[in-house]
């Protein structure tokens, strides 16, 4: 899932251990945050219709269906209970994934931050399947922004755009997408335009590079 995180005070953490460490250090509660869109998806499941099936039965059915209907099947593997159970059942059925893909939460190769992944990484390497380990990269993120088509040329009221980099740690690097406009009205008109839609049409394909959705803050020049 995407967007879930651990929150301690006003700080967000993708890594459970980092969140718990911050909690122990500050005395603040470590809260697991699940975005509403995940909850909405869970609520669409017709639970009564599944009462005669075990979770293992359902996993077997879905694995067989995915393998039969697709040329390539990739397992996004974290080593957690869900993905590891799916991997064990696939192995039991003799189903091979074309790739076991593992994505860590640290932008650095930091054994302290990645402690929860260590055993999973070792197990993934022993399956005999193609195993890919990826760490989010600052250069990957900046390349996406440098190469993207902004579709801002000729947009009424647009003045300039900058991508501004802030502080970094093992969890994330802070960036500010900053644009200037002649008026607030022209900015909001742009957000409803075809230019805006074109500029953001591929945003979902890079979700793995973000801690979560952007937070909008608007400012007016006073002096």
Q: What is the pTM of this model?
A: 0.53
pLDDT of residue 33: 92
pLDDT reading at 109 higher than 60: no
pLDDT of residue 88: 96
Q: Domain segments of the chain: what residues?
A: 1-44, 53-135, 138-209
The verdict on domain 138-209 having CATH code 3.30.70.100 is: yes
pLDDT of residue 83: 93
Token pair belonging to 85? 């159970």
51 to 63, 64, 174, 191: CA distances (angstroms): 19, 20, 46, 45
Pairwise pLDDT comparison (35 vs 91), residue with the higher score: 91
49-101 pLDDT tens trace:
888 889 899 999 999 999 999 999 999 998 889 999 999 999 999 999 999 99
pLDDT of residue 103: 77
Lowest mean pLDDT among 70-84, 105-119, 157-171: 105-119
Pairwise pLDDT comparison (184 vs 118), residue with the higher score: 184
What sign has the CA pseudo-torsion 18, 20, 22, 24? Answer: negative
70-84 pLDDT tens trace:
999 999 998 889 999
Radius of gyration (C-alpha) of the chain in whole angstroms: 22
Residue 119: pLDDT band by 50, 70, 90 thresholds? confident
Instruction: Count the Cβ atoms, other than its own, within 10 Å of residue 172.
Output: 21
Q: What three-state secondary structure class fits 54?
A: coil
For residue 97, give every residue at least 6 positions away whose Cβ sits within 8 Å of its Cβ, in sequence order, or none.
Answer: 73, 74, 75, 87, 90, 129, 130
């Amino acid at each position: 899932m995407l967007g879930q995180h651990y929150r301690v005070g006003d700080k967000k953490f993708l890594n459970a251990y980092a969140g718990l460490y911050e909690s122990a250090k500050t005395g603040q509660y470590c809260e697991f945050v699940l975005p509403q869109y995940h909850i909405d998806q869970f609520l669409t499941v017709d639970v009564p219709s599944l009462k005669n099936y075990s979770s293992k039965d359902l996993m077997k059915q879905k694995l067989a269906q995915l393998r039969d209907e697709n040329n390539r099947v990739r397992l996004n593997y974290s080593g957690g209970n869900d993905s590891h159970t799916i991997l064990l059942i696939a192995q039991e059925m003799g189903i091979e994934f074309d790739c076991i893909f593992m994505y860590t939460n640290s932008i650095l190769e930091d054994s302290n931050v990645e402690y929860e992944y260590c055993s999973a990484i070792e197990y993934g390497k022993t399956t005999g399947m193609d195993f890919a380990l990826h760490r989010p990269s600052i250069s990957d993120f900046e390349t996406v922004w440098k190469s993207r088509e902004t579709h801002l040329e000729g947009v009424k009221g647009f003045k300039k755009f900058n991508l501004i980099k802030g502080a970094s740690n093992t969890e994330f690097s802070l960036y500010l997408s900053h644009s200037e406009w002649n008026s607030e009205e022209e900015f909001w008109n742009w957000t409803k335009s075809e230019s805006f839609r074109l500029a953001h049409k591929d945003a979902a394909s890079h979700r793995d590079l973000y801690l979560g959705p952007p937070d909008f803050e608007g400012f007016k020049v006073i002096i």
